[in-house]
Amino acid sequence: MFDVLTGSIKNAVNKIRFKDDAASLKKATTELKKSLLKADVHHKTTKELVTAVELRTKELGIGQESFLKALQEALTDILTTNGNQGFVFSNTPPTTILMTGLQGSGKTTTTGKLASYLKLRKKKVLIAAADLQRLAAVEQLKQICEQIEVDLYFDDNEENPVKIVQGAKKKAADEHYDVLLVDTAGRLAIDEELMQQLADVKKAVNPDEIFYVADSLTGHDATRTATSFKEQIGIDGVLLSKYDGDTKGGVAISIAHQVGVPLRFIGLGEKMPDLEVFIPDRIVSRLMGAGDIEGLAEKTAAVIDEKTAKNVAKKIKKGEFNFNDFLDQLSMMSKLGSMKSILGMIPGLNQMAGQIKDMDFENSDEIKRIKAMIGSMTVKERETPTLINPSRKKRIAKGSGLTEVQVNKILKQFKNASKMAKKLSSKGGMKGLQNMMSQMQGGGMPGGMGGMPKLPR
């Protein structure tokens, strides 16, 4: 998601050839300014950022490392705004969040993503369907809630959103929900009727916070509309949707700076898990090409059960990894979100993320064939793949709609993968993999961005 901006930073840094060369610093800041504006960063934000980088670089002494350090500090300052980051829970549950935004911004889908994010963190979530303007809104929420297994409060016979949110708030309190997310109505543009309805809903539900969902594909319009909502309704944070489709990406840098409220989450794909907390220093790390290991660790910790992971590791070491284990791991991987967003968090692989179209691993043809094959196995065959002889293969092929050649190929791949996993899990087995990753990072050169100095810590 940051490939254009990261490439722009690299180009700017490469303009500085020698230490204490004022002319090269001027070239670097000019390149940075052009790149930021081209990436759709607001012109006021760009001016402030470039000025801060130039002054700080001169203070530190002109050079590539000084420029990087100055840029890291300036970006962190720009992205940091007074207010909460991520999700903050109220001391008196339920924590009530009003979800606002224009029609088409991805507000309803983002509400579902936020509910999925909270559920993975063991929170009991209720969504209130208070968007009664768009005919398909309630039905869309029903499907989303069924998919993520979260409760929905709706009333097909009620036309007043105020009564909907009052009923939802009572249910959330009576049934001890941790969080109540209220999906409100949107319009194609800001109008008096919309703002009055939102004001009435706000008064009725007395939310702990109000989130504004901004469509990143609208560029500077996202900043302008967020500012209008802040002035007329009051918002405590922005959630940026469809960021995976924004090839420029500059709106993420400028929106918090211009609106004056924190950017809280960013949506990075179509799947429900594709929502990430926006934490400035981590985002800067990714912008600078250094990935976000801390964020990846938190994401996996919320999804992967530690006890299960240890049991699987033991099985792999013993060479006992079976098809039931494979299905369990596949289910866990699907909760992590898109492969593109995961790669973007790994140092050395973040540039690869920008070169691939989003990979729906779980629904690929290969995985579908494997699932069909496993579905045709007996319980014992799943637990002990070595039992599968030619006659069993024939039966499995017939039951799964695959050819015997396809079944043989999958079984061979599974056997080879299990052997490789066992080898890597043995003492010293990761050394070769680490060496390979080291060579991949930064094109085989020091630092995270193809020969650039290492990002200051």
Q: What is the pLDDT of residue 386?
A: 86
Share of the chain above pLDDT 90, in %: 35
Higher local confidence (pLDDT), 401 or 295: 401
Q: Is 213's pLDDT higher than 90?
A: yes
At 449, give phi and psi (nearest 5°). Answer: -135, 60
Q: What is the pLDDT of residue 18?
A: 74
CB 210 within 8 A of CB 199: no
Q: Is 104's pLDDT higher than 90?
A: no
Q: What is the pLDDT of residue 304?
A: 64
How far apart, in whole angstroms, are the C-alpha atoms of residue 40 and residue 56? 24
Name the token pair of 332: 């866990």
H/E/C letters for each residue in 295-361?
A: HHHHHHHHHCCHHHHHHHHHHHHHCCCCHHHHHHHHHHHHHHCCHHHHHCCCCCCHHHHCCCCCCCH
Higher local confidence (pLDDT), 190 or 110: 110
Nearest to 101 by CA among 88, 111, 92, 91: 111
Q: What is the pLDDT of residue 377?
A: 93
**pLDDT tier, 452 (very low <50, low <70, confident <90, very high otherwise):** very low
Per-chain mean pLDDT for the chain = 81
Instruction: Starting at the earlier edge strand, list the strands of the sheet with 95-100.
Output: 151-153, 125-129, 179-183, 95-100, 209-215, 237-241, 263-267, 275-277
Once rounded to an integer, what is the mean pLDDT over residues 111-121? 93
Share of the chain above pLDDT 70, in %: 76
Q: Is 442's pLDDT higher than 60?
A: no
* Range of lowest pLDDT (119-133, 153-167, 302-316, 437-451): 437-451
**pLDDT tier, 343 (very low <50, low <70, confident <90, very high otherwise):** low
Q: What is the pLDDT of residue 360?
A: 52
* Range of lowest pLDDT (69-83, 123-137, 340-354): 340-354
Q: What is the pLDDT of residue 456?
A: 46
Q: What is the pLDDT of residue 380?
A: 92
If phi > 0 it is left, if psi is from -120 to 50 it is alpha, else beta; for residue 428 that is left
pTM, two decimals, is 0.69
Q: Is 453's pLDDT higher than 50?
A: no
Greatest mean pLDDT among 2-11, 38-47, 427-436 lies in 38-47
* Predicted confidence (pLDDT) per residue in 283-314, tens digit: 887 777 665 556 666 666 666 666 666 776 67
Once rounded to an integer, what is the mean pLDDT over residues 227-238? 91
Q: What is the pLDDT of residue 114?
A: 96
At 441, give phi and psi (nearest 5°). Answer: -65, 125
Domains located in the chain, CATH noted = 3-79 (1.20.120.140), 95-279 (3.40.50.300), 297-426 (1.10.260.30)
How far apart, in whole angstroms, are the C-alpha atoms of residue 269 and residue 121? 20
Once rounded to an integer, what is the mean pLDDT over residues 361-366? 65
Higher local confidence (pLDDT), 370 or 165: 165
Higher local confidence (pLDDT), 438 or 32: 32
